[in-house]
């Protein structure tokens, strides 16, 4: 599995304003209510005066969700077949990512083009773009959006 420590810390950890003081101090996991004795949690880096940490189990699950997204995205960039529709390898990578998302407790997919939820089984592809605060890991319908693209 690729190293996703930096993007995980920067773009997957919930905004500090939504964390309780114990989570910002690294005493409680940022993704679950597990208390973290000093030195036990996975350090997610210092953000201002906050030192968020994760329990090993949550860190592994969240890292897997991000790594499988990036593997799927990278494949789509290099694959000559995928612009015509997802190839078999893309389908395998998609399923691995969807499984990882489910284990990480992520919300259902939604399309950033038509701004609708994406039904299970619908062909979809990752869509990575630069937002105001950094990369945005999102999804779009693999073909035309059923409701049309919203400008």
- Does the pTM of the predicted model rise above 0.85? no
Residue 136: pLDDT above 90? Answer: no
User: How many structural domains is the chain composed of?
Assistant: 1
Token pair in block for residue 151? 């400008």
In a domain, 137, yes or no: yes
In a domain, 3, yes or no: no
Q: Which residue has the higher pLDDT, 99 or 13?
A: 99
- Taking only the tens place, the pLDDT of each residue in 68-97 is 999 999 999 999 999 888 999 999 999 999
Rounded to whole angstroms, how far apart are CA atoms 67 and 69? 5
In a domain, 8, yes or no: no
Token pair in block for residue 35? 């208390």
- Taking only the tens place, the pLDDT of each residue in 3-57 is 666 666 555 777 788 899 999 999 999 999 999 999 899 998 888 889 999 999 9
Residue 111: pLDDT above 60? Answer: yes
In a domain, 9, yes or no: no
CB atoms within 10 A of CB 134: 9
In a domain, 1, yes or no: no
> What range defines the domain where residue 56 resides?
16-141
CA 124 to chain CA mean position, Å: 15
**pLDDT score at 14:** 76
In a domain, 56, yes or no: yes
In a domain, 4, yes or no: no
In a domain, 150, yes or no: no
Q: What are the start-end ranges of the E strands in the chain?
A: 42-43, 53-54, 124-131, 134-141
């Amino acid at each position: 599995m690729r190293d996703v420590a930096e993007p995980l810390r920067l773009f997957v950890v919930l905004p500090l304003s939504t964390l309780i003081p114990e989570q910002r101090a690294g005493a409680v996991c940022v993704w679950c209510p597990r208390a973290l004795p000093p030195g036990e949690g996975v350090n997610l880096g210092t953000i201002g005066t906050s030192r968020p940490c994760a329990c090993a189990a949550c860190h592994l699950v969240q890292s897997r969700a991000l790594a499988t997204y990036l593997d799927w995205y990278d494949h789509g960039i290099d694959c000559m077949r995928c612009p015509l529709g997802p190839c078999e390898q893309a389908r395998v990578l998609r399923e691995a990512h969807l499984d990882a998302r489910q284990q990480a407790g992520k919300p259902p997919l939604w399309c950033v083009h038509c701004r609708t939820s994406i039904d299970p089984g619908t062909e979809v592809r990752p869509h990575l773009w630069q937002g105001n605060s950094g990369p945005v890991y999102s999804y779009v319908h693999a073909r035309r959006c059923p409701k049309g693209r919203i400008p």
